[in-house]
Amino acid sequence: MKTALLTGASGGVARALAKRLRHAGWRLVLVSRDVSRIDPAEADTLIQADVSTPGGAEAAFTLAMDRTGVIPDAVANCAGSTLIAPLGRVTAEAFRSCMAANVDTAFFTVQAYAKALLAAKQPGDIVLFSSVVAGTGVSNHAAIAAAKGAIEALVRSVAADYSAQGIRINAVAPGLMQSPLTERMLGSDRSRESIAAQYPLGRYGDADEGAGVAAWLLSPDARWITGQVIHLDGGFSAVRPVVRPGP
């Protein structure tokens, strides 16, 4: 039985990914700053830790290995937040919080996991989450775009460092997905219609679609893929639809 460790385990994508992995027979270690917000299965291992710090990430893996007896076969860093605001209105505190929730959690989780894998001479698989705004300029997204751009750079660098040791790392870069994190943005019919209209396929995504791509990246079907950012955005980053003038 394979074991996967998921950080940010109380979030919508993490919950959907946990459901998919359980169905595929994985054993799960679910990590969150507040485990009371997790909806676990009976066999899941819960760990309360803040992986935005080196000590918190190290503690999460130490506890995971102590409680399961193994190094996780795979890790998905689902921790994160968003920050949508004009650049001039982003405070230093808000910016630092955005970077900690996204970049720091990814960096220190990967660092702690790679350390454990290298010590055991064991391969492993990692999935991180970026965003469409890391590669396509979208107004009022400067802070989160900077954070997610750093994650994409981290993916390529870590792949270069550790591919020879059998450690794979990839990222999913979704457009807007319906989840608890985006509830306020999708709070009215008008906002839902406006957001859906921005995507060539005519709709926004959902958490289960993000989980589906992440689960595939952790599967044997993706075993020859590393250092990649998979866009899941309804064509937003690749397609410019024909805009026809009105009558």
Question: According to the model, what pLDDT value does residue 40 have?
Answer: 94
Q: Which residues of the chain have pLDDT under 70?
A: 180-183, 185-187, 242-247
What was the pLDDT predicted at 159? Answer: 98
Predicted pLDDT of residue 181: 67
pLDDT of residue 55: 98
pLDDT of 185 reads 67
Domain 3-231: give its CATH code: 3.40.50.720
pLDDT at 244: 67
Q: Where are the domains of the chain?
A: 3-231
* Residue 212 CA: distances (Å) to CA of 56, 141, 166, 178: 28, 25, 23, 14
